[in-house]
Amino acid sequence: MNVPSNLKFAKSDEWFDAASGAVGISDYAQNQLSDIVFVEILVEEGEEVAAGKIIASIESVKASSEIYAPASGKVSAVNKGVSDKPETLNSDPYGEGWMIKIEGGSAGDVMDAAEYEKFCEGRTH
């Protein structure tokens, strides 16, 4: 399981990069969902989002999931690429697979990488 140490993580498996404002889903989450076939981003550039608000909806071959904002702030960019190629979320969740950027974002209820790693280990059954 890949958990980059510079990122913060929400309990609902989103990551937030405080430096760039980027948001995506964790390697753990993409692995649980398996092959992702549909990504719909539900917020637009310029929109204000509050931490905990639904920002995207994802479907894989066997599951579906809502994605929540891990931080509050203004949406400064939306990655259209992931809607066109949903599999990017599987292949590169922390890179090309970023979903939106939140500007001036203040993180919501998030953990650091070490805490998140422990949190995930506790969940595997």
Partner 1 sequence: MTYIPISPNERDAMLKEVGVKSLDDLFDAVPKKHRFPELDLPRALTEMEAAALLGEMATTNENVHDHLVSFLGAGAYHHYIPSVVDHMLRRGEFYTAYTPYQPEISQGTLQAIFEYQSLMTHLTGMEVSNASHYDGATAAAEAVNLAYAQFRGKRRKIVLSPSLHPQYREVIRTYTQGLDLEKAGDGELADLEAGPEALTSLVDSNTMLVIIQYPDFFGRIYDYTKLIEDAHAKGSLVCIVANPTALVMLKTPAEMGADIVVGEAQPLGIPLWFGGPYLGFFTTKKSYVHKMAGRLIGETVDNRGQRSYVLTLTAREQHIKRERATSNICSNQGLLALASAVYMSTLGKTGLQQVANLCYQKAHYAASELSKIDGFGLCFTDPFFHEFALCCPRPASEVNEYLLEHGILGGYDLGQDYPSLANHLLVAVTEMNSKQEIDTLVEVLKEME
Partner 2 sequence: MSTPSTSLTATIVEPTIFELSSPGRLGVTMPASDVPTVDLPPRDLLRSELPLPELAEVDVVRHYTRLSKFNYSVDDGFYPLGSCTMKYNPKINEDTCRLPGFLYTHPLQPIETVQGNLVLMFELQEWLKEISGFAGVTLQPAAGAHGEFTGVLMMAAYHKSRGDSKRTRMLIPDAAHGTNPASAGMLGMSVVTIPSDERGNVDLKALEAACDDTVVGMMLTNPNTLGMFDEHIEKVVKLVKDCGGLMYGDGANLNALLGIVRPGDLGFDVMHFNLHKTFSVPHGGGGPGSGPVGVSKRLLDFLPSPLVGIVEEADGDMAPLYGFITPEQSIGRMKAFHGHFGGGLVRAYTYIAMHGPDGLKDIAQYAVLNANYLQAKLRGTYTIPYDRICMHEFVAEGQFAGSDVRALDIAKRLMDYKFHPPTNYFPLIVHEALMIEPTETENKDTLDRFADALIKIAEEARTQPELLHTAPHTTPFGRMDEVKAARELVLCCWLPEGYDSEK
Q: Scan residues 1-60 and list those touching partner 2 (CB under 8 A).
A: 35, 37
Based on the shown chain and the rule CB under 8 A, indicate whether residue 87 belongs to the binding site for partner 2: yes
Residue window 54-83: x/- pattern of binding to partner 1, with contact defined by CB under 8 A: -----xxxxxx-x-----------------
In the set 4, 18, 42, 87, which binds partner 1 (CB under 8 A)?
42
Q: Which of 74, 45, 42 is nearest to 55 (CA)?
A: 42
State the Cα angle at 35 between 23 and 120, rounded to 5°. Answer: 55
Q: Which of 109, 82, 83, 111 is nearest to 97 (CA)?
A: 82
Binding site for partner 2 (CB under 8 A): 35, 37, 61, 87, 125
